[in-house]
Amino acid sequence: MNESKNVFQDGDEFWEFVKNKNGGLGIPISATKGLDLLNALCEIREAYLVNVEIGDMMITLLGSLLVGITEGKGDQIVEEVIVSEAMGELDTNLKEILDEGH
pLDDT over 90 (residue 46): yes
Nearest to 77 by CA among 26, 35, 23: 35
Look at residue 56 in the predicted model and tell me its pLDDT. 93
State the Cα angle at 22 between 6 and 59, rounded to 5°: 80
Q: pLDDT tens digits, residue range 7-32?
A: 777 788 888 888 888 777 889 988 88
User: With bands split at pLDDT 50, 70 and 90, how would you rate the model's confidence at 1?
Assistant: very low
State the Cα angle at 51 between 21 and 69, rounded to 5°: 55
Nearest to 19 by CA among 2, 43, 3: 43
